Amino acid sequence: MLGLVETKRPSVTRFDISRIWGDSCVGWEYVEATGASGGLLLIWDEGFYDVRNCYKSERWLCVKGNLLQNNFNCAFILVYSAHARDEKLVVWEELSYIAGLCQVPCCFIGDFNEILHVEERRGTDSLSLSAEDFKNWIQDMGLVDLSITDRKFTWFRGRSCSRIDRALVSLEWLEKFPETRLRGGPRGLSNHCPLIVEDKRLRDGPRPFRSLDSWFTHEGFLRMVKEEWRGLQEMQFTDKMNALAGPLRRWHKDKFGDMDNKILMLEEEIKKIDDMVGDGAYDETVEARRKALVTCCSKWYVRKELHWKQMSRSRHARDIDKNTRYFHNIASVRRRSNRVDALVINGRLIRNQARIKIAIRDFYKDLYH
């Protein structure tokens, strides 16, 4: 899938597409430019994406279809936002409408002509009203702003530089593609850097020892730790921690590895009792069993929410009944943001993971020699 903003072309022909994409099976939709400004173009491989519907406006272009490899219904929305605040509000309202019309996970990408944080524009120390509008719109839509991994700004003009080009995806998108990532391409002669959205899983390094808050809600956790610790006897503290990691991992997998299934089974049991009550089969035993099931189910709700809240390090909650889905996706975003995809080593941008690990190791060996 390729999206071009500001094509400045009143029309796009198959000859134009073949020069960009080639002669393979290709589909495209475009929004014509107004005079010498504007214009949007989306091109896709028809063997990769099957388009069912297309919606257009002066400032955006939406294609809704099915990713054939994953059988995933979704929409790609290419955006070229306005400059004035009033016009931007109209664009945000139109995008909200089209996302509601599509009723599928969405990926918004393009030039939004707005920042979200003061550090995204050089020389700025406060957010404008239009930036606050943009931030509120993203929150209302439940979108996640993909952090760019290899540059700070995407637009340059003289000494001015900003990050106004971005990709926003829905939570459902991240649930399907948890490793979705955003990086910038070479700017060349343009004022803008191209954006590349990819689903690429990278190997992580060794994981640190972590204690989960949800463990302490389980009545058998401290007893298990005491027994394992007592068995390690006179080992050094760090060796004990390393030795304890294995039993903790097995205990976590046994007790917490299938939280969703445990909750689902408890909910099904509660529903069965409700059906019995609906049929007139009600006594003190049924009531006592239902109370016990509800208590147990509540404990698992709390454990799941504690787990994902800690993993996300989120400092606030959303106004919904259960926050686990929100925390889960924030944790995914944080994990992608913390990963080192590229590093400038001796003035050169390096992406090779093995070289990055060696450079980081050598830096700290020299620092703490």
Higher pLDDT, residue 65 or 241: 65
Half-sphere exposure of residue 246: CA atoms within 13 angstroms, side-chain side = 7
Phi, psi (rounded to 5 degrees) for 11: -155, 160
Angle at 325 between CA 319 and CA 329, to 5 degrees: 110
**What is the tens place of the pLDDT at every residue in 64-102?**
999 998 899 999 999 999 999 999 999 999 999 999 999
Look over the chain and give the mean of its residue pLDDT values, rounded to a whole number.
Answer: 84
Taking residue 277's Cβ as centre, other Cβ atoms within 10 Å add up to 14
When pLDDT is averaged across residues 40-51 and rounded to a whole number, the result is 93
Q: Are 88 and 82 in contact (CB under 8 A)?
A: yes
Q: Which helix (H) or strand (E) holds 244?
A: helix 237-256
CA distance 243 to 95: 53
- Beta-bridged to residue 31, according to DSSP, are 40
Reported as a pLDDT band with limits 50, 70 and 90, residue 319 is: very low
pLDDT band at 353; cut points 50, 70, 90: confident
Q: What is the pTM of this model?
A: 0.61
Across 151-190, b (16+ Cβ under 10 Å) vs e yields eebbbeeeeebbbbbbbbbbbbbbebbbebbbbbeeeeee
Q: Which residue has the higher pLDDT, 205 or 345?
A: 345
- Choose the weakest-confidence range: 154-163, 264-273, 284-293, 303-312: 303-312
Q: Under CATH, domain 2-199 is a member of which superfamily?
A: Endonuclease/exonuclease/phosphatase (3.60.10.10)
Is pLDDT at 187 greater than 90 in this prediction? no
